[in-house]
Chain A
Amino acid sequence: MNGAWNWIWKGGGIVLLAYVILRGFSTPLQPGLVTAAPSQLKLGMQTVTLTAAGQPFGKEGASLSEFTVVLRAGDQLLKTETQEVQPHGITVAVNVPGVLPSRALDAFVFTPSAGTLFLGNACFVEEAAKGDIPTSYVANKPDESTPQLGFSFPFQPNIIESIRNLLWHVPMWFSMFFIMGLGFVASLGQLRTGKVMWDLRAEAAVRTGLLFGLLGLATGSLWARWTWGAWWVSDPQLNGALVTVLLYSGYLILRSAMGDDDRVGRLAAVYNVFAFVMLVILLMVLPRYTESLHPGKDGNPGFNKYDLDNSLRAVFYPAVIGWGSLCYWMYTLRLRMNRIAYSLLSR
């Protein structure tokens, strides 16, 4: 029975990870606008090209009348004329009036099959005076089509293709907390019973968790460099992660400072229990009193909806379970190794 169960969770974890990697890389991204060129507009007639990333939103030589581009200034719409449609770009002619409610223009692209694409603050008109758009320039709001994109990941500004990192980076933290929680329980067990087997478990859990925490930090740092432009930003998630790694490094330093003292198990357990409780407090305190850049939190409101996105969910949950079982597998290996080392030592 035990053997069969072992095969199920280990094999299941690998199968889930294989599914996650396949799905994560082969699922297309929904189309979304990335840039507008030129971004500074003059007054009068000129052309603007909007470039998109992700799935193509139109075919080469598609009928121009199906695509409508509207620029929004304040709460008023400025009309344009579509000139050319490519799979990842659309060129329009626009006549910019001398008066606009706002100098910043948002772009909307209405497409027949990919829904409505949006780019905030696409262009700026420095010379425009403040006022209502003259009626001859105003556009009517076109009808929106429901997007038919199939199974695809949501487009997020700045994040774009790197949304796939969600399946690699985030489960590292989930796995770490899962295995650190296991270490906490093991430390409680060691304090209750004083048996060395609980101490071996706690040590294996902390070492495995620290590995996953360090991987989370390294991958998060790389991702932050791409999306936010800095290797490190002040952010509750990042600070919390760093402190977690520091706390558990402290645990290992404490162990090695004790050397072969026979009280090492109990002292390490005491520290582990205290550290875990402080960690829970810290993770409660940090997000309340520091601002976040992270998805779904303040400072990045565009990401709120991804909690609800079913396509991402269908891959993200298997990713968490798959990485979690891999993490647990590594923990059991380390535990077995610790046991052998201990039995050799105490012979």
Chain B
Amino acid sequence: MALSLRTLRNAWTVARLEWQLEWRQGHQLAAVGLFAVASVYVAFQASDQRTDPASWTAMLWLVYLFSGFTAIGRLFDRERSDVRRYLQWTADPLGLILGKLFHSILTTTALTALVLGAFILFLGWPQGAGELTKPALLVLGAWLGGLSITVTLVFVSAVASQVRAGSGALGAVLGLPLLLPQLILSTRLTRGALSDTPWAILAEYPLFLAAISAGTATLACILFPYIWRA
């Protein structure tokens, strides 16, 4: 798997195509946004505007997780039929997966803004969190944690899209256990960022999350050609 200029150009094309389709069709993005906002609103109603940092974190990552499933779960559905046959001849698999991974970075950024924004708008900061001393760490943690989740979901939805019947439920069954390490790290990081834990102790979490994202992305790139070459 040589990483040539052509592969990169391919990747760029795929990512741009995904993004354009996303905007032009609109309904996918709107669905994710609606899902995120609606679930935050449910959390807001259920918690009576009073949340402690632990449940705030739990709700944040639950909403993030399922928004991620909604956003990434159907990423490979377009490559199922005729388009797939066409792409198999023209795009090389490495370019395709790199494009999808790049797309997942954009999705993560949008999701982070959306989910965090909705949380602050509806729920505000958790009670007892005191002065928020590390807003940068909170945002960085949400973004990195989200990235590690979406990258894994890209791989899972690539596998699930190969199964002809009922790939939606399969994505969740295969994905949830694989996402546990990322979720453990993300929730600890968010809780730390909301409390008065010093920076130095929390610094290893973003590093570990970045390493997991990079590792899973590399693994996805290595394994994807085997899924693709049918």
Residue of B nearest to A273 (CB): B223
> What A residues does B155 contact at CB under 8 A?
274
> What B residues does A246 contact at CB under 8 A?
176-177
Docked pose: A274 CA to B164 CA in angstroms: 21
> What A residues does B1 contact at CB under 8 A?
none
* Contact present for B178 and A247 (CB under 8 Å): yes
Would you give the 0/1 interface string for A215-253, flagging 1 where the beta carbon is closer than 8 Å to chain B?
000000000000000000000000100010011001001
Q: Judge whether A267 is part of the interface by a CB distance below 8 angstroms.
A: yes
Q: Judge whether B88 is part of the interface by a CB distance below 8 angstroms.
A: no
> What B residues does A274 contact at CB under 8 A?
155, 178, 219-220, 223
Q: Judge whether B185 is part of the interface by a CB distance below 8 angstroms.
A: yes
Would you give the 0/1 interface string for B212-226, flagging 1 where the beta carbon is closer than 8 Å to chain A?
100110011001001
Q: Judge whether B70 is part of the interface by a CB distance below 8 angstroms.
A: no
Docked pose: A282 CA to B230 CA in angstroms: 31
Q: Known interface pairs A243-B177, A263-B162. Does A289 touch B184 (Cβ–Cβ under 8 Å)? A: yes
Docked pose: A275 CA to B220 CA in angstroms: 11
Q: Judge whether B135 is part of the interface by a CB distance below 8 angstroms.
A: no
Stretch of B56-64, B90-98, B165-173 at the chain-chain interface? B165-173
Partner among B164, B166, B184, B215 whose Cβ is within 8 Å of the Cβ of A290: B184
Would you give the 0/1 interface string for A72-114, flagging 1 where the beta carbon is closer than 8 Å to chain B?
0000000000000000000000000000000000000000000
CB distance from B29 to the nearest CB of A (A): 28
> What B residues does A243 contact at CB under 8 A?
177, 180
10 A-B pairs closest in CB distance: A246-B177, A285-B181, A282-B181, A250-B174, A247-B177, A270-B223, A257-B163, A243-B177, A278-B178, A270-B226
B positions within 8 Å CB-CB of A? 152, 155, 159, 162-167, 170, 173-174, 176-178, 180-181, 184-185, 188, 208, 212, 215-216, 219-220, 223, 226-227, 230
Would you give the 0/1 interface string for A256-267, flagging 1 where the beta carbon is closer than 8 Å to chain B?
011101010011
* Contact present for A191 and B226 (CB under 8 Å): yes
Partner among A261, A267, A290 whose Cβ is within 8 Å of the Cβ of B159: A267
> What B residues does A285 contact at CB under 8 A?
181, 184-185, 208
* Contact present for A258 and B226 (CB under 8 Å): no
Q: Judge whether A196 is part of the interface by a CB distance below 8 angstroms.
A: no
Q: Judge whether A254 is part of the interface by a CB distance below 8 angstroms.
A: yes
CB distance from A59 to the nearest CB of B (A): 54
Residue of A nearest to B189 (CB): A289
CB distance from B182 to the nearest CB of A (A): 9
Docked pose: A35 CA to B208 CA in angstroms: 46
Docked pose: A266 CA to B159 CA in angstroms: 10
* Contact present for A257 and B170 (CB under 8 Å): yes
How many residue pairs between the two chains, A and B, have CB atoms under 8 Å in the bound complex? Answer: 74
| Binding site secondary structure of chain A | helix
* Contact present for A289 and B159 (CB under 8 Å): no
| Extra 6 A-B pairs, beta carbons < 8 Å, given A267-B163, A278-B152 | A247-B178, A266-B226, A277-B215, A281-B212, A285-B185, A286-B181
> What B residues does A191 contact at CB under 8 A?
223, 226
CB distance from B195 to the nearest CB of A (A): 15
- Please, could you name 8 A-B residue pairs with CB atoms under 8 Å apart, sorted by A? A257-B166, A258-B162, A261-B164, A270-B223, A271-B159, A274-B155, A277-B219, A286-B184
* Contact present for A263 and B230 (CB under 8 Å): yes
Docked pose: A221 CA to B176 CA in angstroms: 23
> What A residues does B215 contact at CB under 8 A?
277, 281
Docked pose: A275 CA to B223 CA in angstroms: 12
> What B residues does A247 contact at CB under 8 A?
177-178
* Contact present for B180 and A282 (CB under 8 Å): yes
Residue of B nearest to A285 (CB): B181
Residue of A nearest to B175 (CB): A250
CB distance from A60 to the nearest CB of B (A): 55
* Contact present for B166 and A254 (CB under 8 Å): no
Residue of A nearest to B212 (CB): A281
> What B residues does A270 contact at CB under 8 A?
159, 223, 226-227
Residue of B nearest to A240 (CB): B180
Q: Which of A262-317 contact B (CB under 8 A)?
A: 263, 266-267, 269-271, 273-275, 277-278, 281-282, 285-286, 289-290
Residue of A nearest to B178 (CB): A278
CB distance from B207 to the nearest CB of A (A): 13
Docked pose: A191 CA to B178 CA in angstroms: 21
Residue of A nearest to B204 (CB): A288
Partner among A253, A266, A273 whose Cβ is within 8 Å of the Cβ of B170: A253
CB distance from A325 to the nearest CB of B (A): 29
Interface centre among B164, B188, B220, B226 (most CB of A within 10 A): B226
Docked pose: A194 CA to B78 CA in angstroms: 27
Residue of B nearest to A283 (CB): B181
> What B residues does A259 contact at CB under 8 A?
165
Docked pose: A250 CA to B170 CA in angstroms: 8
> What B residues does A253 contact at CB under 8 A?
170, 173-174
CB distance from A253 to the nearest CB of B (A): 6
* Contact present for A254 and B163 (CB under 8 Å): yes
Interface centre among B152, B162, B185 (most CB of A within 10 A): B162
Docked pose: A14 CA to B166 CA in angstroms: 45
> What A residues does B170 contact at CB under 8 A?
253-254, 257
* Contact present for A281 and B181 (CB under 8 Å): yes
CB distance from A246 to the nearest CB of B (A): 4
